[in-house]
């Protein structure tokens, strides 16, 4: 069994296209920048998300395609927020913890998107895309939607949602044959844990 998975990994790595390598490297770099509260997270992240819109559609991962479109839009939004300065040229947004009210809001945000994406993908699976995996794709997608929204606001809890996204995405992309991308999510999982620790230390 282990040999089979390893062989599948090697075979998938050999078949990986150049643009997937570029997307993976940009994704890893983007998370590294975000853990250090560096605004380069957004321009570098856009390289990753735009390529993955194409990859996700090609792999019938429509929920993930919507996530990457959302990432692209939120990257521009986050870029603007993180760039704002006051009259003393100090950044106006800082890393902080979510309040109880904000926790309720993000859980509702996640639940709303999960329900919508799951329903849409279930319909797509029946009508057009039998290869779709609604529950896993919806979990990875909805948690990513939530994480990206919170990251733009520099909330520590964004990293919890990224951890969920990474855990769900590892097997999802592996099953679809995007082995190098699956490996990327293993790396990103470790980086998300490190990012959580770093942001907890910086939180005000």
Segments of 59-100 assigned E as strands: none
pTM: 0.81
Three-class DSSP category at 155: strand
The dihedral through the CA atoms of 140, 143, 145, 148 has a sign that is negative
Q: Check residue 3 and give its pLDDT.
A: 55
What integer pLDDT is reported at residue 177 of this predicted model? 75
Tens of pLDDT, residue by residue, the chain (204 residues): 555 666 666 666 566 678 888 988 998 899 999 999 999 999 999 999 999 898 888 877 776 787 789 889 999 999 999 988 777 667 778 999 999 999 999 999 999 999 998 998 888 777 666 677 788 888 988 999 999 999 999 999 999 999 999 999 988 888 877 777 788 889 999 999 999 999 999 997
Residue 75 CB neighbours (<10 A): 24
CA distance 16 to 22: 11
Q: What gap in Å lies between CA 99 and CA 40, rounded to an integer?
A: 27
Q: Is 175 helix (H, G, I), strand (E, B) or coil?
A: helix
pLDDT reported for residue 44: 95
CB–CB of 168/143 below 8 Å? yes
Rounded (5°) CA angle 78-159-143: 80
3-class DSSP assignment, residue 91: strand
């Amino acid at each position: 069994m282990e040999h089979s998975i390893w062989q599948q990994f090697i075979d998938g790595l050999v078949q990986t296209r150049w643009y997937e390598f570029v997307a993976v490297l940009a994704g890893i770099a983007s998370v590294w920048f975000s853990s250090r509260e560096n605004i380069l997270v957004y321009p570098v992240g856009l390289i990753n998300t735009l390529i993955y819109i194409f990859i996700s559609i090609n792999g019938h991962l429509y929920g993930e395609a919507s996530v990457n479109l959302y990432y692209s839009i939120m990257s521009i939004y986050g870029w603007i927020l993180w760039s704002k300065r006051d009259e003393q040229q100090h950044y106006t947004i800082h890393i902080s913890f979510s309040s109880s009210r904000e926790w309720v809001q993000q859980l509702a945000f996640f639940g709303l998107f999960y329900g919508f994406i799951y329903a849409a993908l279930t319909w797509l699976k029946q009508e057009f895309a039998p290869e779709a995996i609604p529950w896993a794709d919806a979990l990875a997608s909805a948690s990513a939607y939530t994480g990206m929204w919170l990251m733009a606001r520099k909330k520590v809890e964004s990293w919890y949602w990224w951890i969920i996204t990474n855990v769900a995405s590892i097997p999802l992309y592996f099953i679809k044959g995007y082995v190098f991308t699956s490996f990327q999510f293993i790396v990103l999982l470790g980086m998300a844990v490190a990012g959580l620790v770093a942001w907890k230390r910086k939180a005000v």
